[in-house]
């Protein structure tokens, strides 16, 4: 069958490729050498056509009228409009054969500001797209245009807003536009700080839906993406309660550029208070949410910290949550910096399997880029309340090089200097993770290090035809480097050496305890380890040595040596022996 299709595709074409994509079949009947393919049932042919790419389907339409009829359904399943003429052509094709509207599953409309002539021909056909699943409506970026030239832009916004409203639960189910819609992206573009032309769109849910709360749990929406939006917690809570079972949610608040337009955009301190946002999210999606991505503009003001009431993200009741992506700023609402308070269990559910931290600055005026999470999270997953954690991803970020204006901080050195700084920063990140590889390996943790290169001059969400960020993976614990394996081997040798030294001291320790077992009775209220103490600490205290130094927070190191190492490292056999001696709290035990 595949050979037959190849012979069909090898026929010489008389029309250009692009013309085939936008025109109907010619009126004359096409003939093809009988290969037995047409004798197959239509069901089998349709199943086979489902494996062909778009270009092959276009060529197949030129071979035979019956194959043209079968291939049309696949050709019209997904359609992209990047120019107003393309919209007019689609409207003409729908006018000639109304079946094509029923085949459409995915539609993207994204044009430039001067190329939108003809878009108004398409909205009248929206009512016939009853099987449409995915819809993306993007307005062109006209930020540099004077208000007089934005009239068409605003009219287009109003048309898209009406489509969005008519497809929502604001309309009775029997009259609803696009009844099978699963995802809808409504993208209004403008990067001015004042948001002058978008003033009436600044709170989209409240504007479109005057009685939003009456539609609670009425939609089948499973994925919601709110990119660079400004919502208050009350409106957001009403919006999140629309879906019956929301599975994934991505929220980021607005950004703005500095005056020179080239530096990294700074986050606007947002409307979403972490305490109110947590309650809104938990009340709306605690029973179904599995993926959450947050990039909030909120930062702690002076005098407040993560322990202040309502100043942290409390997501513990999202019991279905398995993956969470947070920006470096938002991470400060879950884990304090620098260091770790070991109380992540107060803010994240134990169902978390994957944590991704993005927008980690790669270029900083310091010896090394920051490490978002401390090693204690990997070695003590259960104590931190994340026993199911399997994967951690760090995504470092910097802006692409464009002349000497990419980073004002390094302008004097030029692109060569900045390239060397970027390479050196990447190397430091790799060296840090090579050294931490034994920790990742012992805790069975998959760690991935990514670098995101953002395009200068653009802000998210990026239009379909704009330059997008690129992401590369520079380190993966599942593919360790030679240096990482060397660190792992050295760590294993150190453990073996410590174990050999501990064998000799264990027998003398047991004899010492046995000799004094019947002589001293100690009140457990005085001796029983507190939750903050480890068995090694208690045993060290019992033997009259120095208490192990395990601080609650680990300061950010200025070199490659890990801070917070114990002053006295007892062999593991001694710690196990102490665990046998410690009884249930409240019951005395003898030494």
pLDDT digits (tens, 9 = 90+) for 383-439: 999 999 999 999 999 887 654 444 444 445 556 777 888 888 899 999 999 999 999
pLDDT at position 415 is 62
Residue 18 lies in a domain: yes
Q: Indicate if 211 and 233 belong to the same structural domain.
A: yes
Name the domain count of the chain: 4
Q: Is 267 contained in some domain?
A: yes
The pLDDT assigned to 143 comes to: 60
Select from 352, 380, 411 the last residue of a domain: 352
Check whether 184 has a pLDDT greater than 80: no
235 lies in the same domain as 340: yes
What's the rounded Cα separation, in Å, for the pair 305 and 312? 8
Q: What is the mean pLDDT of residues 135-150?
A: 71
CA dist list (Å): 521 to 214, 327, 527, 591: 68, 53, 11, 7
Identify whether the C-beta of residue 134 lies closer than 8 Å to the C-beta of residue 183: yes
Does 416 map to a domain?
no
Domain shared by 286 and 230, yes or no: yes
Mean pLDDT of 467-477: 92
pLDDT band at 257 (very low <50, low <70, confident <90, very high): very low
Regarding whether 238 and 172 lie in a shared domain, the answer is no
Does residue 245 sit in the same domain as residue 113? no
Q: Is 10 found in the same domain as 47?
A: yes
Which of residues 330, 352, 374 is at a domain's end? 352
Is residue 465 assigned to a domain? no
Residues 252 and 307 in one domain: yes
Q: Is 25 left (phi over 0), alpha (psi -120 to 50) or beta?
A: beta
pLDDT of 101 above 50: yes
**What tokens does 420 get?**
């060397």
Q: How far is CA 160 from CA 119, 124, 146, 283, 556, in A?
A: 11, 12, 22, 30, 49
- pLDDT given for residue 74 in this prediction: 77
Residue 536 domain flag: yes
Please tell me the distance from the alpha carbon of residue 342 to that of residue 381, in angstroms, as a whole number: 10
Mean pLDDT for the stretch of residues 128-151: 76
pLDDT of residue 35: 59
In a domain, 580, yes or no: yes
Mean of pLDDT over the chain: 71
pLDDT score at 386: 93
How far is Cα 273 from Cα 379, in angstroms, rounded to an integer?
32
Confidence band of 555 (pLDDT split at 50, 70, 90)? very low
With a cut of 60, say whether residue 208 has pLDDT above it.
no
Q: pTM value? A: 0.66
In a domain, 21, yes or no: yes
Domain edge (last residue) among 163, 193, 223: 193
Structural domain for 45, as ranges: 2-71
**Residues 271 and 157 placed together within one structural domain of the fold:** no
Domain match, 107 and 182 both:
yes
**Closest C-alpha among 149, 216, 215, 225 to residue 187:** 225
- What phi and psi, each to the nearest 5 degrees, are found at residue 398? -150, 165
What secondary structure does DSSP assign to 145-177, as a single string?
A: S-GGGGHHHHHHHHHHHHHHHHTSTTS-GGG-S
The pLDDT of residue 547 is above 70:
no
- By mean pLDDT, which of 13-27, 52-66, 140-154, 207-221 is the weakest? 13-27
Highest average pLDDT, of 148-157, 325-334, 481-490, 533-542, comes from: 481-490
* 347 shares a domain with 218: yes
Query: What's the whole-number mean pLDDT along residues 365-381?
Result: 81
Tell me, yes or no, whether 360 lies in a domain. Answer: no
Q: Which of 60-69, 231-240, 360-369, 556-565 has the least mean pLDDT? A: 556-565
Domain co-membership, 121 together with 155: yes
Residue 291: pLDDT over 90: yes
Predicted confidence (pLDDT) per residue in 145-178, tens digit: 666 777 777 777 778 778 877 877 677 778 888 8
CB contact at 8 A, 111 and 119: yes
Residues 142 and 225 in one domain: no
Higher pLDDT, 404 or 222: 222
pLDDT per residue over 239-253, tens digit each? 888 888 889 999 887
């Amino acid at each position: 069958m595949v050979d037959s299709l190849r012979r069909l595709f090898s026929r010489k074409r008389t029309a250009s490729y692009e013309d085939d994509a936008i025109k109907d079949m010619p009126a004359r009947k096409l003939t093809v050498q009988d290969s037995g393919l047409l004798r197959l049932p239509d069901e089998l042919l349709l199943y086979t056509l489902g494996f062909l790419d778009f270009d092959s389907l276009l060529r197949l339409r030129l071979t035979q009228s019956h194959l043209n009829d079968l291939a049309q359904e696949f050709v019209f399943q997904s359609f992209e409009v990047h120019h107003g003429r393309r919209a007019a052509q689609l409207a003409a094709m729908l006018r000639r054969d109304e079946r094509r509207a029923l085949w459409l599953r995915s539609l993207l409309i994204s044009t430039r500001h001067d190329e939108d002539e003809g878009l108004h021909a398409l909205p009248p056909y929206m009512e016939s797209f009853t099987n449409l699943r995915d819809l993306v409506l993007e307005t062109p970026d006209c930020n540099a245009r004077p208000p007089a030239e934005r009239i068409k832009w605003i009219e287009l916004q109003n048309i898209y807003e009406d489509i969005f409203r008519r497809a929502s639960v604001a309309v009775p189910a029997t009259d609803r536009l696009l009844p099978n819609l699963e995802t809808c992206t409504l993208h209004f573009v403008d990067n001015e700080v004042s948001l002058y032309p978008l003033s009436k769109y600044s709170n989209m849910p409240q504007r479109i839906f005057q009685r939003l709360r009456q539609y609670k749990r009425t939609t089948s929406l499973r994925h919601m993406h709110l990119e660079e939006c400004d919502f208050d917690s009350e409106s957001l809570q009403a919006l999140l309660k629309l879906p019956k079972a929301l599975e994934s949610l991505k929220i980021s608040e607005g950004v703005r550029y500095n005056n020179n337009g080239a530096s990294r955009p700074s986050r606007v301190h947002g409307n979403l208070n972490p305490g109110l946002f947590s309650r809104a999210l938990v009340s709306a999606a605690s029973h179904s949410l599995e993926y959450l991505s947050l990039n909030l503009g909120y930062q702690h003001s002076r005098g407040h910290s993560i322990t202040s009431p309502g100043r942290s993200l409390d997501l513990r009741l999202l019991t279905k949550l398995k993956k969470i992506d947070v920006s470096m700023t938002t991470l400060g609402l879950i884990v304090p910096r620098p260091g770790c308070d070991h109380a992540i269990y107060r803010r994240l559910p134990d169902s978390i399997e994957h944590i991704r931290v993005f927008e980690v600055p790669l270029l900083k005026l310091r010896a090394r880029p920051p490490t978002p999470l401390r090693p204690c999270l990997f070695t003590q997953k259960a104590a931190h309340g994340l026993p199911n954690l399997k994967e951690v991803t760090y995504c470092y970020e910097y802006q692409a090089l464009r002349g000497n204006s990419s980073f004002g901080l390094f302008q004097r050195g030029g692109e060569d200097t900045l390239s060397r700084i970027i390479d050196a920063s990447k190397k430091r990140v790799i060296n840090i993770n090579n050294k931490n590889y034994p920790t990742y390996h012992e805790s069975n943790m998959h760690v991935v290090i990514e670098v995101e290169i953002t395009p200068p001059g653009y802000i998210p969400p990026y239009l379909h035809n704009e330059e997008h960020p690129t992401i590369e993976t520079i380190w993966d614990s599942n593919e360790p480097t030679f240096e990482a394996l060397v660190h792992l081997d050295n760590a294993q040798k150190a453990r073996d050496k410590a174990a050999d030294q501990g064998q000799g001291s264990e027998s003398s320790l047991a004899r010492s305890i046995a000799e004094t077992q019947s002589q001293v009775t100690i009140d457990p209220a005085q001796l029983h380890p507190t939750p903050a103490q480890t068995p090694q600490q208690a045993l060290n205290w019992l033997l009259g040595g120095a208490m192990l130094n395990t601080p609650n927070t680990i300061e950010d190191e200025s070199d490659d040596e890990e801070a917070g190492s114990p002053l006295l490292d007892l062999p593991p056999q001694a710690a196990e022996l102490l665990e046998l001696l410690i009884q249930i709290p409240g019951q005395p035990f003898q030494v």
